[in-house]
Amino acid sequence: MAGNTAPATQQPVKHFNLVRCVAVCLLTLIVLVGLAVLITWLVIRPKRLVYTLENGSLQHFNLNNKHINATFDFVLMAYNPNTKTSVYYDSMESVVSYKDQTLAFDTIDPFHQPHRDTARVESKLVAQNLALSPSTYKDLRGEKSSGEIEVDVHYKSRVRFKVGMWKSKHRTLKIVCPSVKLHFSWSRHFENVPCEVEL
């Protein structure tokens, strides 16, 4: 009678083999994905995009009764140093601010930047009878008397990257050009400003 009973250890052994098989498959998949990412990175060799504010001017500047009217013109030079990656700027906007108060903004037409390319991005931002806080108005009047004002210029863009036939999903690109000095006199030369990038 006792010889007809099945071994009690057969089911746990099968369960253990299944778990080990799943674990090996998952580990193999992780290794393969890691190798694919590494090989892609080695082939593409991604480099950071470089942005420099190369020109800035101020026109029709007027302060009256705690309001500002002004036209800001900027030229941003965008350099893509990558040899295999191009960039699609699907939307872009620029903002000029003074001590955390936005003075004006502009939208920029979409464009495509090939690899190893330098793009010239122009923007014209107009402040029309914009109300200022009392402290901002006072500080701007003081800086105007010195012959220059110092502002921050921000760019925000929705970008995609293309390598061969592959295109990435949209990512938000933020560019900050801090402490930009704008002169009231045309005789004073604009100094280039290297910009910070957040992607």
* Residue of 139, 141, 149 whose CA lies nearest to 190: 149
Are residues 130 and 58 located together in one domain of the fold?
Answer: yes
Are residues 61 and 43 located together in one domain of the fold?
Answer: no
Write down the pTM of the prediction: 0.78
If 0-12 CB within 10 Å is exposed, 13-18 middle and 19+ buried, where does residue 72 land?
buried
Note whether residue 86 is domain-resident: yes
Domain of 151, in residue numbers: 50-198
Mean pLDDT of 153-169: 93
Are residues 25 and 66 located together in one domain of the fold?
Answer: no
Are residues 40 and 123 located together in one domain of the fold?
Answer: no
Q: Is the pLDDT confidence value at 155 over 90?
A: yes
Q: Summarize pLDDT for 83-140 with one digit per residue, the tens.
A: 989 999 999 999 999 998 999 999 999 999 999 999 999 999 999 999 999 999 999 9
Note whether residue 2 is domain-resident: no
Note whether residue 30 is domain-resident: yes
Number of domains within the chain? 2
Residue 174's contacts (CB-CB under 8 Å, 6 or more residues apart) are: 154, 155, 156, 197, 198, 199
Are residues 164 and 129 located together in one domain of the fold?
Answer: yes
